[in-house]
Amino acid sequence: MRDFLETLHEDAAKDPEQRARELSKRELPKRFYKQAVAVAMDGGHAVHLDGRPVKTPARATLLLPNEVLGMAVAAEWEAQEKEVNPAAMPLTRIANSAQDAVSVRFDEVADDVTKFAGNDALCYRADEPESLVEAQRQTWDPVVEWAGDLLGGRFVLIEGIMHKPQPEALLSACRVRISNESPLRLAALHTVTSLTGSALLALALKEGRLDADTVWSAAHVEEDFNIERWGKDAEAQQIRTYKRKEFDAAAFILRNG
C-alpha cells in the first residue's frame, strides 16, 4: 500500500489535466481490501481498510478533522471496485498533501495563493467582443468589488494581458486573511485557486459569499462564451469534468473542514 499512496501524493502536485492524462494510461492496482470505514481516534478520524489505518506517503496515519470528512474519504476508498483508481479519490489526495506537505510548508502555500490574487483572472478583462466584455463585467465585478471591500481597497482591472501590479496593502490583507486556516483547508483553498485561476473566487467560496456552482460558473465565463459560439470539444469537456470533481472535493472540505 505504501507505493500506491506515494503515487497518490505525487499525483496531487501535478496539474489536473496532466494527472488525468497520465492516470488514463496507468495500470491501476487491484483493490486489496474488503471494507473501508472511518474510525474515531485521538486527533480526528482515520480511515481503516480491513482494520488497518490508511497511511500518508510520509507513513503517518491519515487523519481527518471530523466525522463528516472521515466518512467522505472512507467512501472514496469503499467506492473503488476491482481496481483502485486515484483519479476518483480527490479528497484522499488533498488530505495526503495537506498532512504531509502543506503542514510543513504552510507559508509557501499561503504565499502562492496570495500571488494568484496579485495576478487574478477576474482582473484581466477582454476588450472585445462586447457580449463577452459584458458577461465578464456582470459576473466578475460583484466579486472583485466584494473582495476589495473585504480586504480594504480596490483591485486594478486590466484590459488585455499586460500585467499591472495590485496594491500591496490588498495582497497583504489577503495573506493575513488566510493565515489562520488549517493545513487541510489551505490545501483545499489552493486547489480551488489553481483550478479557477482566481484567489478572489476561492476567497468568496471560503467565506461563504458564493456557493460552489456559482464559483465554478464564474471561472468559466470565457470558456462557456466560446462554447456557445463554436460548440463543445469532447476532450476539453472530459478534462473539465475531471477538474470539476477536484473542485467539488476542495469545496466540500471548505464547507466541512
> How does pLDDT run along the chain (257 residues), one tens digit per residue?
333 334 444 444 455 556 555 555 568 889 999 999 999 999 999 999 999 999 998 999 999 999 999 999 999 999 999 998 888 999 999 999 999 999 999 999 999 999 999 999 999 999 999 999 999 999 999 999 999 999 999 999 999 878 899 999 999 999 999 999 999 999 999 999 999 999 999 999 999 999 999 999 999 999 999 999 999 888 999 999 999 999 999 999 999 99
- CATH architecture observed for domain 106-256: Orthogonal Bundle (1.10)
What is the reported pTM? 0.89
Pick one of 3.40.50.2020, 3.30.2180.10, 3.40.50.970, 3.40.50.300 as the CATH number of 2-85. 3.30.2180.10
- Closest by CA to 256, choosing from 78, 64, 107, is 64
Neighbours of 249 (CB within 10 A): 22
Dihedral Cα 54, 9, 119, 150, nearest 10 deg: 10
- Closest by CA to 144, choosing from 219, 200, 195, is 200
> Angle at which helices 168-177 and 106-118 pack, to 10 degrees?
140
- Residue ranges matching CATH 1.10.3580.10 in the chain: 106-256
53 in Cβ contact with 62 (< 8 Å) = yes
